Structure 1
Amino acid sequence: MSIECQGKSSWPELVGVQGETATATIERENPLVTALIVLEGSPVTPDFRCDRVRVYVNENGIVTLVPAIG
């Protein structure tokens, strides 16, 4: 069984930008999701959710991984 999420699902163009800018862009481009800033290396739950995008940032608040629904 595969999960089909609606709307844009990943944002590779946001790697290297400020986390706050990334979350605003993600939520504007797909209003069905909530974007959450997560410090890289922080523990997260392994569950998959179509309404969540984790935005991984470094200690300077810069996006380090491609944000994607999950």
Structure 2
Amino acid sequence: MASIDNPGKSSWPELVGKNGGVAAATIIRENPNVFVEIIPPSVTMITSDYGFNRVRVFVDDCCVVTRVPTIG
């Protein structure tokens, strides 16, 4: 659910299994208040801080989304 400070969609379960670039474009189109980080499997450490305007898109070696993208 989106907050008052960040109106718009906050999670995209329908993008699991889709191309990461297509997923990023969809997220930005559906919630222009966020920025998207595509996280490849080679990235083993990421910060655990909560980003109110950040969506991380985790992809596999073929750039296919592997987790539900959510704000955070």
Query: TM > 0.5 between the two?
Result: yes
How far off its partner does 1:41 sit?
A: 6.0
When the two chains are superposed, the root-mean-square deviation of aligned CA atoms in Å is 1.2
Percent identity over the alignment is 51
For residue 52 of structure 2, the aligned residue among 50, 53, 59 is: 50
| 1:39 CA displacement | 1.1
Secondary structure, counterpart of 2:18 in structure 1: coil
Once superposed, which parts of structure 1, at least 4 consecutive aligned residues long, lie more than 3 Å away?
A: none
TM-score, normalised with respect to structure 2: 0.86
Any gaps of 5 or more consecutive residues in structure 1? none
In structure 1, C-alpha distance between the alignment counterparts of 2:23 and 2:38, rounded to whole Å: 9
1:36 aligned residue: 37
TM-score (norm 1): 0.88
Aligned equivalent of 1:15 = 16
> 1:69 and 1:40 mapped to 2: Cα distance?
19
Q: Distance in 2 between matches of 1:50 and 1:41?
A: 25
- What residue in structure 1 maps to residue 25 of structure 2? 24
Q: How many residues align?
A: 67
User: Which ranges of structure 2 fall in alignment gaps of 5 or more residues?
Assistant: none
2:19 is aligned with what amino acid? Q
- Give 1 or 2: higher strand fraction: 1
